[in-house]
Amino acid sequence: MKKMTYAEAIRDGIRVEMKRDPAVYLCGEDVGKFGGCFGVTAGLIDEFPGRIVDTPISETAIIGSSVGAAAAGLRPIAEIMFVDFMGVCMDELFNQAVKMRYMFGGKAKVPLVVKTIAGAGVAAAAQHSQSMEAWFTHIPGLKTVMPSTPADAKGLMASAIRDNNPVLFIEHKQLLGISGDVPEDEYLVPLGKASIMRQGTDVTIVAWSWMAQKALAAAEILAKEGISAEVLDPRTLVPLDKASILHSLGKTNKLVIVHEAVKTGGYAGEIAAIVADEGFDLLDSPIKRVTAPDTPVPFSPTLEAAYVPSVDSIVQTVKSLF
């Protein structure tokens, strides 16, 4: 094990896979000499000359070229600087990349990783701070990954690169600097397998990305008040580990789902629907959601702090069930 930040762990996951497989390359705006907008890819251009490609400012070109390269046998990691910019290249993603394997009867593979970053908390305003993961979970054929720890970030990145289907890998700005023990060398975390971050018996809190860390903090507070919260991080929203969620709910009989995205159309609603359909008899209270309000992300730090779900809002929502 080695202590790494979340950003370093992602970089290490990319590095290990690029050493292992010469078909892997990275492209995007400022990913090379500049090392990425947040420094995540710093130094890779020196280690892998010719395989770290600084592109023009064209999300359409980044994804379009990567779809073609993947279909032709390479394994591109295409970085879109902010998830907020994905609207520019959606046709290439949801009408081309994810449909090729299906439309060609399984004869085509598109092993493409779209690497991007989401989330608020840094006063980057409404066009650079959104959590848009629910958009992408609605696209059949696209896998959606949102790690919350350094170790998961490395292992999920490696698994995403090795997958033969398009994978959206969403980092979070607030997690880049957190540290943790990370396995060295090759390390894989399977897509579609949740992580029980904290065992509990009274309530299940399902949360991902930055909100998983907030859920852990809330669980600490709740424990002091006699409430044992189990914190479950799905790690991948598609494929979703339904079995682990239902198993946890079978112990606790209460469910709170936390995400930073806005409430309406958020992925918490999908999880709630699955539980209502497949685990209704496990519930002894209503399912609760803790989310951002249905507004753009404010620029003002004070308003932004009120916008993002807080540890206290998770605590109070859990306590409302008792």
Beta strand segments in 48-139, E: 52-54, 75-80, 113-118
Which residues fall within 8 angstroms of residue 44, CB to CB, at 6 or more apart?
11, 14, 15, 18, 26, 31, 32, 35, 52
Residue 46 parent element (H or E): helix 44-47
**Catalytic: which of 128, 138, 172, 247?**
128
Instruction: DSSP for 232-289, please give it.
Output: EE-SEEES--HHHHHHHHHHH--EEEEEEEESTT-HHHHHHHHHHHHSGGG-SS--EE
Sole residue written with tokens 């000359």 = 49
**C-alpha atoms less than 13 angstroms from C-alpha of 290 in its C-beta half-sphere:** 27
Annotated catalytic residue 128? yes
Residue 134 parent element (H or E): helix 133-137
Phi, psi of 262 (to 5 degrees): -65, 160
What does DSSP say about strands 203-207 and 195-198: parallel, antiparallel, or unpaired? Answer: unpaired
Distance (Å, whole) CA 113 – CA 123: 28
Distance (Å, whole) CA 151 – CA 269: 28
CA-based nearest residue to 247, from 229, 232, 269 = 232
**Active site residue ranges:** 128
